[in-house]
Amino acid sequence: MASKAAQKRLNKEYITMQREPPPFIWAVPDEKNILTWNYLIRGPPDSPFAGGEYHGILLFPAEYPFKPPGIKMFTPSGRFQPDKKICFSMSDFHPGTWNPAWSVATILTGLLSFMLADEMTTGSVTSSDSHKRAFAAKSHSFNLSQARFKEAFPDYCTPTLKDLPNMGERERGKPDTPPNSMRNPCPSTTLATLPTQMIHRRNLGAVPPMIAAAAAPAVGDALTSTNKTPVPQGWAASWRQVIWEKWRWGVLIALAVIVSKLSSSS
């Protein structure tokens, strides 16, 4: 069972993941246990993993963020042993080097970096680049055959690969615009402003009830601010113009009357 500190921290990290997902990475907590997170990593271009889709889990201890998580990858990659814990500096193999400031995004970015390297450690395997490319080509079909993938990422169970929210376009100097299928029709909407019933699945993954409940109080404020009738811009200027016109004509008429009286008296 998660401690209060772990619950609060992981809730916050999920909201951050929604707003600013790292390049080639996506992760969601399990609906029933916030200490278990499913992640997806997409192989970056110009790497042997290009076109690959890699599913795994992060197993957080109840004492998180003061202790590191265990990390597994299920999808065969040619780099890690499927369903075996991976040893690297941010995993539970190295509690002495763990930094509580590290987050889900930090851990998975570190895992992707470690995946692209050749360092051998517990849970890793050696294979050629051609083997890695072959695994990458088969990765999505493998994931579709796995019940845990389909349960964790139902929106990614499509016949062809579906892009993650951040495919590294900005990092590669390209416009950071997601494909039409991933665009949010309300770009300013975040987890904290969605009604609970809309939060439950969104289009990027399952949201645990405890996170939805934490986000729900913000709904009232969001509806209050979004339902107000906007005040037309420039209305004050328009009224000032009308008053000025009427005042100017009034002055001209008064001057004309005075001139007329002076002329008749003379």
Residues assigned a catalytic role? 87
Q: Find the Cα–Cα–Cα–Cα dihedral 14, 140, 83, 64, rounded to 10°.
A: -10
Q: Rounded distance, CA 131 to CA 113, Å?
A: 19
Write out the two tokens for 94: 């190295």
Q: Rounded distance, CA 144 to CA 151, Å?
A: 10
Q: Rounded distance, CA 233 to CA 236, Å?
A: 8
Q: Rounded distance, CA 210 to CA 30, Å?
A: 11
- Amino acid (one-letter) located at 136: A
DSSP 266: -
Element at 116 (helix H, strand E): helix 104-116
Question: Which residues, 6 or more positions from 20, have their beta carbon under 8 angstroms from its beta carbon?
Answer: 105
- Tokens 């209305």 correspond to 235
Contact by Cβ (8 Å): 90, 111: yes
Contact by Cβ (8 Å): 205, 155: yes
Count of residues for the chain? 266
Q: Rounded distance, CA 123 to CA 155, Å?
A: 29
DSSP 183: -
Number of neighbours of residue 204 by Cβ within 10 angstroms? 18
